[in-house]
Amino acid sequence: MEDYGAILATERYGSGESWHYVAKDGAMERRRDSRDAEPRGNSIVGVFKSVFLPQGYPESVSGDYLQYQFWDTVQAFSSSLSGTLATQASLRGVGVGNQEATVAAATVTWLLRDGTGMLGRIVFAWLKGNKLDSEAKKWRLFADVLNDIAMFMEILAPFFPAWFTLIVCTSGIFKSVVGVAGGATRAALTVHQARRDNMADISAKDGSQETLVNLAGLLVSLILIPLVTDNPALTIGLFFFFTALHLYANYKAVRSVVMETLNEARLAIMLRHFLRDGHVPTPLEANREEPVFLEFRKTLPIKLGVRLHEVVQSPEELRLALKKDAPFLLGFTNGCVCVCLAAHANTRDEIRAMCQAIWLSDKLSSSRQHQGFWEMVHKSYELMGSEFDRFYKGVEDAGWDVTRTLLDWDEWRFKWKPKMR
């Protein structure tokens, strides 16, 4: 064994490898740490990682990154194959291979499909754009389910020639919704995964992964197309198989995400646990319980950041609503628990207001009697006055990020005159 002098310096590349600089014959030589020695041929793996994984992986991303990306890759591959089957059906429907079909008719159908899709994209972004951050998991899964429905419609469309244009236009609207919801929620998940303000790098590498998956899907499609041509039964059978795989992979993907920011669902889970047994769930525990499907509410809906007149309609109600040192008001209007937020409220105030609204929503939903609303509002202030500090400390200790929230606040803020108190 060669004799080396003292170690002059060491350096590391993340958690991947470490090196020593040692003195030898009056020079400085760089030697890899023997404990980090990797098997032969790993240079190929290293190149693969640098091409498809963010720089600094795994330290530069969230702990759920790899599991999410695995299931996201599976769903993208199965979706690519389903899309091939749907595209083939659409082309057949507009007349490809049919000598009686005209280019003009096919072009008009395609333009109508794209035009309705553009309108659908605008309308959906207007109606639901503000929900995509706070409920990213639900809308991510919803987008993929809707995408499968749209592709199934495209496969069936050629069997209904009289309704073909209407079906493909409806499918185009669905796919436009998928584009908005899928793209926006992907951005929200990228923000969650980025731990070094490296959103652009993660997004770029995600694009590379998706391109590789689509390339693999393209190669498999070249084998499938000759088999399914003029075989509707096999086409539909394969479509259902790939769709089932796609939906399962998407469910596993959103289930694997562990977000540390507070939205309504996660905060409600934490508050209910705390009031029941004094325990504040960790991000992993709360994310496991968080619903990932859009659902019909079993509790009264909550509207945050509403206008003042949606909470109180008279000076007397305003006096009832105002509480000392509480920079928010709670009210009940049109079957909703409403919250007005003061202009000087901070993130902690937003969390407390949401906690009281959740408690009120639960109580009003179980009692189904809303006549004593103001008494229940006062009880919510008393409860949070005695328990919120302990709850908030438990939230911080459990590892939640309380510097920002994903609560769905609207932009209305109010100020009041001091004499109102």
Taking alpha carbons only, the member of 273, 347, 265 closest to residue 302 is: 265
Tell me the Cα Rg of the chain: 28
Please give the chain's pLDDT, 421 residues, in tens.
445 567 888 887 776 677 878 887 777 888 777 665 454 445 687 788 889 999 888 889 999 999 999 999 999 999 999 988 887 766 665 555 444 445 666 677 778 888 888 999 999 999 888 888 899 999 999 999 999 999 999 888 888 888 888 888 999 999 999 999 999 999 999 999 999 989 999 999 999 999 999 999 999 988 888 888 778 888 889 999 999 999 999 999 999 999 999 999 999 999 999 999 999 999 999 999 999 987 766 678 999 999 998 888 888 777 777 776 689 999 888 889 999 999 999 999 999 999 999 999 998 887 766 667 888 888 999 999 999 999 999 999 999 999 999 999 999 998 876 555 5
Taking alpha carbons only, the member of 280, 20, 286, 251 closest to residue 140 is: 251
Q: Please say whether the beta carbons of 144 and 79 come within 8 A.
A: yes
Predicted pLDDT at 421: 52
d(CA 130, CA 26): 65
Predicted pLDDT at 258: 96
**Two tokens, residue 394:** 């438990």
d(CA 83, CA 221): 10
Predicted pLDDT at 313: 81
Burial annotation 269-308 (CB, 10 A radius, 16+ → b, else e): bbbebbeeeeebbbbebbbeebebeeeeeeebebbbbbeb
Q: Please say whether the beta carbons of 399 and 283 come within 8 A.
A: yes
Predicted pLDDT at 400: 96
Q: Domains along the chain?
A: 7-52 (no CATH), 65-257 (1.20.1250), 262-420 (no CATH)
Measured between its terminal Cα atoms, the distance across the chain in Å is 83
Predicted pLDDT at 298: 66
